Amino acid sequence: MLTFIFPFVGCPTRIFSDGGPQLVPQETQQPLQHWGVRHRLTTAEYPQSNGESAVRQLKRLFQAGGGRWSCVRRLLRRFTRAKNTPTIGGKSPAEIVCCHPIRSRVPTHYHLMRNGSSLWMNTTDAQWRRSTERFKSMIPILNQSLR
């Protein structure tokens, strides 16, 4: 299974798991070794590295919302927004994994979804440069008014 996934989404340098039966068999370990992926075991209750703990947290959030589907839909929209929000590196988690932003409820032209992340980044960078230049040109004026 992993040999079919890696060519499409890329090969990680390491995989974290709680030692469950999915990643322990020899059929799984051989492709990991072939691709140079380190399999690292973590504790079962550490939510940053364990999907089961994250699922339990989602269930608690769902129950805290009264078990209404509208709360779940709102939560899923927030997850989508979080996946499309650029991080410190300038790319969103969706762009890192899928090489493009994922579709959300925000109206966007389909060209931007397909290959527009670079267009969006270039536009944002150009706007940032213009505002920086504008601010630099205002520094002497601001310094004079402070005297």
Report pLDDT digits (tens) over 60-76: 777 776 766 677 677 77
Whether 139 maps to a domain, the answer reads yes
Of residues 124 and 36, which shows the higher confidence score? 36
Predicted confidence at residue 93, as pLDDT, reads: 76
Q: Give the domain extent around 14.
A: 1-64
Q: Which amino acid is at 6?
A: F
Count: domains in the chain: 2
Considering the domain boundaries, does residue 81 fall inside one? no
In-domain check, residue 73: no
Q: How far apart are CA 55 and CA 81, in angstroms?
A: 19
54 and 107 both lie in a single domain: no
> What is residue 39's predicted lDDT score, i.e. its pLDDT?
83
Does any domain span residue 136?
yes
Q: What is the pTM of this model?
A: 0.34
For residue 14, give the nearest of 33, 40, 48 by alpha carbon.
40
Domain membership flag for residue 69:
no
CATH number at residue 48: 3.30.420.10
Q: Which residues are within 8 A (CB) of 90 and not within 5 positions of it... i.e. 6 or more apart?
A: 121
Pair 56, 94 in one domain? no
From residue 25, alpha-carbon distances to 6, 49, 116 in Å are 18, 20, 41
For 3-21, write each residue's pLDDT tens digit: 667 666 667 788 877 777 7
Q: Are 106 and 140 members of one domain?
A: yes
